[in-house]
Structure 1
């Protein structure tokens, strides 16, 4: 699906207008968007510094010649014009599962600031019902097993602590990720509310009511989806 990802990334880069305040997503498709946007910047597109959703995206943006806002500082924006990011799943209402790249907290902060949030995905990410992709949940390290127990008891799913290279993965924020293999999520809103009420949960990967539209490619064409 590399051709599909590249096509939606390039289509998304064409949405950017001079002077737009941007949010830059994280992941393989978002990285291609940053590359495509960098080519437009090199051709003269004038942009203010953008908000990146991970250290990886910050690095990619700098390599592409895109200036970055310090989101840890007092000048972090109150609003953005446009955010572009991928997703692990998108249903007909454009409710999303995100967090496969372990950047869901920063992604949700940045994308909540955007007046327009465009999701860029290939056809394999479009689903009728969320849940086949395990739902990422960012949690604080303290008492992580206790938090996993609370999730298990309240949602009836067995959390899996995410590892990378044989060690527990830590997010850019120093937190852990639990992946929840639901299979299907019958009620995403109720699941989101339950997770938000569990001590130790920092953020979950359900992005509900946030996406304005999606650009979807099969490798040949790009189509536009809006929430059903």
Structure 2
């Protein structure tokens, strides 16, 4: 089974982000960037499938600038076999990424595609679902469990009322939650080996995909500063304060 994993380069989750002074976006100058944590779980799951003798090859794919190759090298150091960077300096939206991935999938013919359920920079949680729709493949989202049985994928997914178990026919798309596994840290020898693994670079244009943004960001604002709390003496006073807060917001 060939497994394709999509990964995204994002601001590291430990970084306190700052909004640019002109409010056009988040300041990423001199900021640590890392693989999206949800995608890190997806890579780990693919490697576990290969270690179990289920996956024969793992390909990691990223859509983004040249520096996204560093993110791909992380995936290679964890255990992926080769990588593909779809190079673009355009800020890509979920539908554009889904179209790019479909074009790569048409070329690579994987049986399983793994993605993180969302990226921590935009929290869209859309790419996997859009990709499944474009391909007409079965999909399982927000997975906390995944096992293979022949040409079936047995998955457990998180829903509002608890968990749901599904059986998917391959080929399939799966988006994973953080509960699925604990990603490993690549060892220094594997990091060195990753530098010699194949990393191909293509462009959206060569894949026949238009990634021009369809949305315009009007303004990016930091969260409001948390206000100091207020002590109340009675339940009636608390109810009155809550009613006032609802009316003013």
TM over 0.5: no
More strand by share: 2
TM-score normalised per structure 2? 0.30
TM-score normalised per structure 1? 0.32
Larger radius of gyration: 2
